[in-house]
Chain A
Amino acid sequence: MTGWHLDDDALRRYVERTDSLTEGASAEQHLLSCEPCRARVNAAVDVIDLAAVWDRTRDAIEVPRPSVFERLLHAVGLPAHEARLVAVASAFRAVWLTGAAAILAFAALAAAFGHDHGVWLFLAVAPVVPCLVVASSYDPWMDPALEPELVTPYPALRLVLLRTIAVLALALPTVLVFGLVIPGDAPFGWLLPAVGFVAVVLAASTWVSPLRAAIAVSSAWLALVSLLAARFGSPDAIIQGRAQAGFLVLAAASFVIFILRRRQLRQLRPWG
């Protein structure tokens, strides 16, 4: 631009680092604004294999950044490869979680403003959301990581449990927050049924696909709730102590069955 350029000797001294501090500083200042001289310096680089650095750079930018959820799992102590396996499940895609949260929000709002009918609606929806999300978190039909899981010698039980815990860690606080807007004892009435249904789905998935199990459990629950709602006006039937104890027994029994039958887990096989 100025018509002044580094002469060949100065350029050679700069690249070979045999110049003085002031000469080097002058060359560097010139290089910042002079493209032809930069091109001459570029041509003289032999200390580093820049093609190899380019390959590494391209690889680095093509690796997708871990999702927020995956980084969170890693932060609480899960090794990076396990965090990847857990987080890759479709249930953790933002759209699924948003959908589940929207259903719950709708039910909670209905409960807050619609009195008894609303509370029934919330009690019908809230307990089945966690088990549906858990099922979709390891159902082969919805699992994008199925192929790598089939060829990776990784304990299926551990994977399913890790994903279940991760789902519950996400879903329970969400449902709990929505539950707080419900009047009366209902906010916590859904908790034990929810845990029970998750356990039932885990146990049932040793026979059938997790998603089918979850859909069956949810349908049965919805049918039961509508029956109870039609017969008794108030939701006490579900909230009362005896019913809650029943859900606790259901959860414990199902979990024992799941552990006993863990070798029959359908999770690692493609499900027709």
Chain B
Amino acid sequence: MDSRPVDETLLLAVAERDMGAFRTLYERHAGWLTIRLTRRCNDRDLVADAIQDTFVAVWQRPRGFRGDGDIAAWLWGIAIRRLVSRLRSRGGVAAVFEHPGAAPAAEDQVLLSVEYGDIGQALARLSPEMRAVIQAVVLDGLTAREAAQLLHVPVSSVKTRLYRAKAHLRAALAEGSS
């Protein structure tokens, strides 16, 4: 089942100011975007604001989607940046979710080594700070500056931690393969 034609049709209708299509688009995507954002930020009000901002932005610029890749990925790119922007305007205390899976259960470890090989274990051994940076920069595709705003640390710390995390992973993988 390919979702792209459905979403692209909806987006075209949104560009024609079709509120029904906009509602459908919201219902198809607001849920999983919310779940994914709450994994980055444990402040629910802030996540709700970011979701609102995301869909307001989609309504205002539906033609921002250039037709490459999945609309879901495009929406996520907007959502994570809206969240960063909300965090920035609030200032104050960091609201980053501390990942509870810091110590995976033994079964998970087995699954991971099957599915990801040594990289999974290497990642699991990273400190929470380094994992947060890897998640923001490598997995979410944020720039160092955006990651710094999301994590409430200086840009230089993001770069240092990313460098160390990569060195750590490289060493762990080299060790595993030798």
Contacts and interface: CB of A to CB of B under 8 A. Distances in A.
A binds B: yes
Interface string A213-252: 0000000000000000000000000000000000000000
Contacts of B30: 42, 50, 53-54
A38 B60 contact: no
Contacts of B35: 14-15, 41, 44-45, 47
Contact of A38 (B19, B29, B51, B104): B29
Contact of A17 (B2, B101, B108): B101
Given A22-B119, A35-B1, A17 B39 contact: yes
Contacts of B48: 48-49, 52-53
A30 to B, nearest CB: 11
A17 B99 contact: yes
A22 B120 contact: yes
Contacts of A28: 36, 139
Interface string A79-91: 0000000000000
B97 A20 contact: no
B38 interface: yes
Interface string B90-112: 00000001011100100010011
A183 interface: no
Interface in B11-42: 19, 23, 26-32, 34-36, 38-39
Contacts of B119: 22
Contacts of A147: none
Interface string A17-32: 1111111111010011
Given A17-B99, A20-B112, A32-B76, A42 B32 contact: yes
Contacts of A261: none
A168 B29 CA distance: 50
Contacts of B38: 17, 47-48
Given A26-B115, A31-B72, A20 B120 contact: yes
Interface residues of chain B: helix, strand, loop or mixed (majority): helix
Contacts of A264: none
Contacts of A20: 101, 104, 108, 112, 120, 123-124
Interface in B28-67: 28-32, 34-36, 38-39, 44, 47-48, 51-52, 55-56, 59-60
Contact of B3 (A17, A35, A53, A60): A35
B73 A32 contact: yes
B55 A23 contact: no
- Between B36, B115, B119, B135, the greatest number of chain A beta carbons within 10 A of the residue's beta carbon is seen for B36
- Between B51, B52, B70, B116, the greatest number of chain A beta carbons within 10 A of the residue's beta carbon is seen for B52
15 contacts: A15-B35, A17-B39, A24-B99, A24-B101, A33-B72, A33-B73, A35-B1, A35-B6, A36-B1, A41-B31, A42-B31, A45-B31, A47-B47, A50-B34, A57-B52
Interface of B: 1-3, 6, 19, 23, 26-32, 34-36, 38-39, 44, 47-48, 51-52, 55-56, 59-60, 70, 72-73, 76, 97, 99-101, 104, 108, 111-112, 115-116, 119-120, 123-124, 131, 134-135, 139
Given A42-B28, A42-B30, A57-B55, 16 more contacts: A21-B101, A22-B119, A25-B139, A32-B76, A35-B1, A38-B32, A44-B35, A45-B35, A47-B34, A48-B47, A50-B34, A53-B51, A57-B26, A60-B52, A61-B59, A61-B60
